[in-house]
Amino acid sequence: MTDVLTFTEGRVGRIRLNRPKAIHALDTGMCAAMLDALTAWRADTAIEAVLIDHAEGRGFCAGGDIRMIAESGAGDGASARDFFRAEYQLNHALFTYAKPIVAFMDGITMGGGVGISQPAKFRIATENTRFAMPETGIGLFPDVGGGWYLSRLPGHLGEYIALTGARLNGADCLALGLATHFLPADGLEQAKAAIAADPQAIATALDALSAAPGETTILEHRAEIDRLFAGDTLEDILAALAADPGLWAKEQLAILATKSPQAMKVSLHLVRQGRHMPSFEDEMRQEFAVASRVVQRPDFAEGVRAVIIDKDNAPRWNPSTAEGVSDHVIDQIFAPLADDEQWEPR
C-alpha cells in the first residue's frame, strides 16, 4: 500500500495521506512524494489548485514518525535530520506555492499535520477536528513552522498552545484563524467535488457549504491566557500560574508539571523569536538547527519512552525543573549550524 496517493482530478492536483494505522503520520518517503508532486504541478498549467486530505481513519495527520526519529536520535541522528530536512522542504514548498491549496483538517491534526495544513490558503475544520502541537510532552517543540504560526496568534495564545499542548476543536481553529472555513464532515465530499469542477471558485464553494461551528473552548479563557502566559521567562509564567487562585490556573500548572522543562524553554523561545523572523524560510532554517540538536538530547528519548514505548506516562526529565535549564543550553540549541549542515529549501 502506498502511504501517500498523488493524482489529478480535472484541473486539481490531489494529495491523499494513506497510512491509516499510524493516523497518517508522516515519514521521509511520504514527504518526498508530496514534494515531488508539488514540484511537478507547479509548472503544469493544466493544474490550477491542490487539495490535501486523508483516506480512511479518524485523523488527518497525527504528526511524524516519532519512533524512527527517536531511534536515529539515540545514534548519530542522520536519519532524523534527513526526515526534518524533507519535511521542512515540504512545509516551505506549501507556504510559497503560487497555486491555491486546500487542506481538509478533518479529525486529528497534530504536529506534522499542522505543518502541511497551515500553509494552505484554504484550511477546512470540521466537528471532528482536534488540533494540537503536543510536542513538549515528549521533549520536543512545535516545529514544522510552529514558531511562525503560533507567534502570529493574538495575545499570548501562541505561548499557551506551545507550552501546554492544548487541544483545539474546529470552532477554536476558525475563531483563531487556524482554519478559514468550518464545514460539517458529511459535506466534505461535496466540497471536494465542487473544487474539482471549478478550481477558480474555491472560496465561493466553501462559503456556500460552510456551517455554524458551535462553541469555542479557548476564547472563554482568553483574558487568563494573556495575563498568565505573558511572563518573560518560563519561571515567570509558572510563578504567575502558581500565584493565581483560580481553578483554571491550577489545571494549567498541573499540565505544565508533566512537560519537559527543556522543551518548554525551547518552545517559549521559539514562539518569541518567531514574531521577529523576517521570512518563513528563516523560520525553517532556525527550526532545523533546533530539531537537529533536540532529538539527540536526553529528554526526547525519555519522552518517547514514557509516552510512546512504555506508555507509563512517567517521564524523568533531566533537568527536572525550569531553573535547571540554563540560558547557555538554550543558546547552544538555537545556535546556527555550520554552513554545510544548514537547511535550505528545495
- The number of residues making up the chain comes to 346
Q: In this structure, are residues 223 and 99 in contact, taking their beta carbons and an 8 Å threshold? A: no
C-alpha cell at 288: 532545523
Cβ neighbours of residue 324 closer than 8 Å, sequence gap 6 or more = 261
Q: In this structure, are residues 91 and 116 in contact, taking their beta carbons and an 8 Å threshold? A: yes
Is 112 one of the annotated active-site residues of the chain?
Answer: yes
* Beta carbons within 10 angstroms of residue 323's beta carbon: 12
CA torsion through residues 230, 222, 246, 271, sign? negative
Among the options 63, 111, 112, 145, which is catalytic? 112
Is 64 one of the annotated active-site residues of the chain?
Answer: yes
Is 198 one of the annotated active-site residues of the chain?
Answer: no
Place of cell 501517500: 4
Is 146 one of the annotated active-site residues of the chain?
Answer: no
Among the options 106, 135, 172, 287, which is catalytic? 135
DSSP state of 344: -
Place of cell 481553578: 247
Among the options 27, 143, 159, 287, which is catalytic? 143
C-alpha cell at 50: 491542490
Among the options 59, 63, 64, 139, which is catalytic? 64
The set of catalytic residues is: 64, 112, 135, 143
